[in-house]
Amino acid sequence: MHELSVVASIVESVTELAAAYPGARVLEVRLRVGALASVIEDSLQFCWGITTEGTPLQGSKLTVQTLPVVMHCTACAQDVELQGVQSFRCPRCGEPCSDLRQGRELEIDSIEIDEVEEAI
Amino acid sequence: MTTRIVELRRGILKKNDELAAGLRGRFVDAGVLVLNLVSSPGTGKTAFLEYTLRELRARGAKVAALVGDLETDNDARRLAASGAPVRQINTHGICHLDAEMINKHLEGWEGVELAGLDYLFIENVGNLVCPSSYDLGEKIRVALLSVTEGEDKPLKYPTLFNSADAAVITKMDIAEPCGFNRELALKNINEIRPGIRIFETSAKTGAGIDDWLAYLAQAHTARHGLQDPL
């Protein structure tokens, strides 16, 4: 629901960074989004074109890597990956888990840019 | 042209997270316990908070509230009837509160010094999706659910319920005519957030409020090692 403000923050961050590479074009922006981040990829993609227009990100591609929820199961003494977000129980032993290790990420992983080479 | 990949690993809500961390530090230093109340529109956050403010004040605790809505100051006026200082935050279309809005509304708040408070309540905009992503520097995030909303609300909005520290079921006085299945609701909340404290309350009858107040007092004492304000 707040994907537009999320996209606006991404554009701001990447524009700031791109300023260090004058003349460069941003080709791709890669995100890491946890399954519990409340952000839907379709909505991000929908906002991408409009928000990037007229910025150094115009025409770039947005790639989203979705991260599953990982909990620490005390009974099994190890980190376990959940299959969904409907039950926070260890998929191995069935015990409830409350120690979240992954799933809330909402970050820019990396960007790919096309640099202008200096004229020789 | 050469292609280059620049690693960033930068949180998209980094600015909010940094501001929230700053607020959290201020709240700890001031010895004020801060709670963020989140639910759908119409759950009864304001009625529950009105009751809570009134009871805490009657017990001598120093309380204040910030209340978020898209428009109107209706809720602030309702809450202010408790006698507590209340400030309205109008987001004008934004579906959640963020740390910057909290920061801004703490400034120049007449008659309110953080260090003079025991509890500060933040009533978020009615929304079960977006507020889960925005840390406000609170110590306790409270997810509220009313008996009229359906027992599967926690399963439908796991992100928010999983990020909560306490859950409050409101409108228990009309649970029966609503055909509210209490066991199922408790089971669903526990499925999403195992072991969470759950309070079954009514702002009409006062049911469950004593337990809730005892929880607040305990959280306040545990946090600051201060004397129980109640």
Which CATH number covers residue A31?
3.30.2320.50
Q: Do A46 and A75 sit in the same domain of this protein?
A: no
Tens of pLDDT, residue by residue over A32-72, are 999 999 898 999 999 999 999 999 999 999 999 999 999 99
Tens of pLDDT, residue by residue over B25-55, are 999 999 999 999 999 999 999 999 999 999 9
- By a Cβ cutoff of 8 Å, what residues of chain A touch chain B? 1-2, 5-6, 9-10, 13, 17, 21, 24, 27, 31, 36-39, 85-89, 96-98, 100, 104, 106-117
Total tally of structural domains belonging to chain A: 2
* B12 with A108: Cβ contact below 8 A: yes
Q: Do A63 and A114 sit in the same domain of this protein?
A: yes
> Which residue in chain B has the smallest CA separation from A34?
B159
Q: Do A94 and A119 sit in the same domain of this protein?
A: no
> Which residue in chain B has the smallest CA separation from A6?
B12
Tens of pLDDT, residue by residue over B162-218, are 999 999 999 999 999 999 999 999 999 999 999 999 999 999 999 999 999 999 999
This prediction has a pTM of 0.91
**Chain B partners within 8 Å of A108 (Cβ):** 8-10, 12
Q: CA geometry: angle at B135 spanning B145 and B222, to 5°?
A: 80
* B155 with A86: Cβ contact below 8 A: yes
Q: Do A44 and A89 sit in the same domain of this protein?
A: no
Q: Do A3 and A18 sit in the same domain of this protein?
A: yes
Q: Do A14 and A53 sit in the same domain of this protein?
A: yes
Q: Do A73 and A117 sit in the same domain of this protein?
A: no
> Domain span at residue A82?
69-101
**Chain A partners within 8 Å of B7 (Cβ):** 109-110
**Chain A partners within 8 Å of B156 (Cβ):** none
Asked whether the ipTM of the predicted complex exceeds the cut of 0.95, the reply is no
Q: Do A31 and A77 sit in the same domain of this protein?
A: no
Tens of pLDDT, residue by residue over A65-120, are 999 999 999 999 999 999 999 999 999 999 999 999 999 999 999 999 998 766 55
SS3 readout for chain B: CEEEEEEEEEECCHHHHHHHHHHHHHHHHHCCEEEEEECCCCCCHHHHHHHHHHHHHHCCCCEEEEEEECCCCHHHHHHHCCCCCEEEEECCCCCCCCHHHHHHHHCCCCCCCHHHCCEEEEECCCCCCHHHHCCCCCCEEEEEEECCCCCCHHHHCHHHHHCCCEEEEECHHHCCCCCCCHHHHHHHHHHHCCCCEEEECCCCCCCCHHHHHHHHHHHHHHHHCCCCCC
Q: Do A34 and A74 sit in the same domain of this protein?
A: no
Q: Do A59 and A30 sit in the same domain of this protein?
A: yes
> What is the Cα B184 distance to its own chain's centre?
24
Q: Do A44 and A73 sit in the same domain of this protein?
A: no
> Which residue in chain A has the smallest CA separation from B195?
A98
Q: Do A21 and A78 sit in the same domain of this protein?
A: no
> Which residue in chain A has the smallest CA separation from B97?
A2
The answer as to CATH 3.40.50.300 being correct for domain B14-221 is yes
* pLDDT exceeds cutoff 80 at B86: yes
